A and B are shown apart, each in its own frame.
Chain A
């Protein structure tokens, strides 16, 4: 084959591969959405219409009704699921039904899913739209200009933020009491965790895909502190804009190594860092724990579940410390 011919063959193969990847992602995504749904998509849209009509006629009868809610952001989806009455929810974004992304995937899958475009939301016709402050700015602006009320929720950086956001969403959708109830529950849980704190917090490093760690201040940092862990990189200023090199880790061995795997089954360069041989050697002689990314990527009331996980890991690390060695006890995984 001539050089030109082989170059063309390689190029065509590349184009075909690219097209295959795109097609595969699309169809795989569609299949995934279908499999995680309880009913086929057409029925969900129809039932949304039916619910809307039912609600409108109900409000006509009662004279009072809760506003309908659409959410177009993964974190706000879950907030809404916590706060709203099921009859209020008109649509949630497709990510919330993905168990890799969302802690409430099963609950979310019962609702019609949207892909975040203005025309979709227009058809769902909600009273209130909840979005993240980084959700596509074009979509949010367009929806505003169409007359929709949009509530922008910032990413949560602390436990206080979670409370604020819960109240923010609750206020926007007429569920203030439910919001206060959630805040009370959260505070009670936090108080319980605080009581358990002893004077010897465990030196911990969290390793995330791509070599990132937990910065301070951040929500992750507060969760760690609440679980009785010392965030070693933050303490010693070891991280560079949130990332921690494996070598730094070697020089600063922690008592507890927490892995946050995200889509661990999918190959990715970010996940490859988690499999770094030096890291594996460290892990072999340290107490380790796994916390799924979905558990603490959003600031939610159930982010405190991560604290429970971390507490148990801290206990194991402390007993390893007492026994004078820091060898792996069975790494606990929540799944």
Chain B
């Protein structure tokens, strides 16, 4: 009756190929990434190791590299977390944070700030515009879908909001006050962590934190949804509650992230897939590891940008796309092979 004993052990979910907790790898990896991110800088002649001239080492570390590292951590973590939550909620491996319109709403808010010339004066106004945009997108989603909406309605509403925000963003770009402004907007939308200060960390954090907590509160409900909406409700986790917790948490945290860094794609999509073979499929178990892995991935991508040959900095969104797309390809390949087997 080996089934009985292993059934007991597998109550919390068996580990897969490695019988080891994911934190054993992820936490040191994240530390290493943070350390590297603080140590590696970028000058006109290319990457720089260490802090350089002692006179300016303080400002370089505290005001340039530390905020950048922190922001990469927070934004990457947010994207990983919300990606895992959304894939759990929608029971669809293609779900990602941008699906509900939070990213495009935040992007539109920031673009409008550019458009009305408010951002040139003070770069703090830009993230505020982004947050306003993502909250507006959530409000619109709620208004379109309604409190009792089912998942399909919510996804459709998210698609509609994305399309609308994209259209308005294109319109704003079309009427940009100058070609310089248009270029700034375009580059901002590609996603970047360059030259962000501690102010941006402090601006994003008060919105990200509650967002994370909302998603955390939905964790058990996500597990319950494994068995479908009716069973989840009967287990004491009404799907509507789980739904709005995840949506609200995503809108807050991802909206704040996009507002500060622009649109960074693929992290939320890819990180849960990377961890599932290891952590298992229970959405609740994936949440924290995906946060850590998302943070690590974003940090490494940002470090990769800094070690490029001298020249203008690559945009972070470009690098994450270049990493994410091939990973996704091989995922498809593997899935196809398994299906045929």
Contacts and interface: CB of A to CB of B under 8 A. Distances in A.
Contacts of B119: 137
A26 B322 CA distance: 15
A167 interface: no
Given A139-B194, A146-B59, 7 more contacts: A8-B329, A114-B44, A117-B194, A120-B42, A123-B56, A142-B197, A145-B197
B67 to A, nearest CB: 9
B53 interface: yes
B195 A155 contact: no
B44 A122 contact: no
Interface of A: 4, 8, 11-12, 15, 18-19, 22, 26-27, 29-30, 33, 41-42, 45, 91, 94, 112-120, 122-123, 125, 132-134, 136-142, 145-146, 155, 241
B314 A94 contact: no
Interface string B81-99: 0000000000000000000
B45 interface: yes
Nearest to A212: B179
Contact of A119 (B43, B184, B332): B43
Given A30-B310, A134-B178, A134-B180, A115 B44 contact: yes
A133 B178 CA distance: 12
Nearest to B187: A136
Given A91-B44, A119-B60, A30 B184 contact: no
Contact-residue size bin, chain B (C-beta under 8 Å from the other chain): 35 or more
Contacts of B329: 8, 11-12, 15
Contact of B43 (A19, A123, A139): A123
B44 A120 contact: yes
A134 B44 contact: no
A117 B313 contact: yes
B143 interface: no
Contact of B56 (A4, A125, A132, A139): A125
A155 B312 contact: no
22 contacts: A8-B329, A8-B332, A15-B325, A22-B314, A22-B322, A26-B311, A29-B312, A33-B310, A41-B45, A42-B45, A117-B194, A120-B43, A122-B60, A122-B64, A123-B53, A123-B56, A125-B56, A134-B178, A137-B119, A137-B122, A140-B123, A142-B195
Contacts of B326: 12, 15
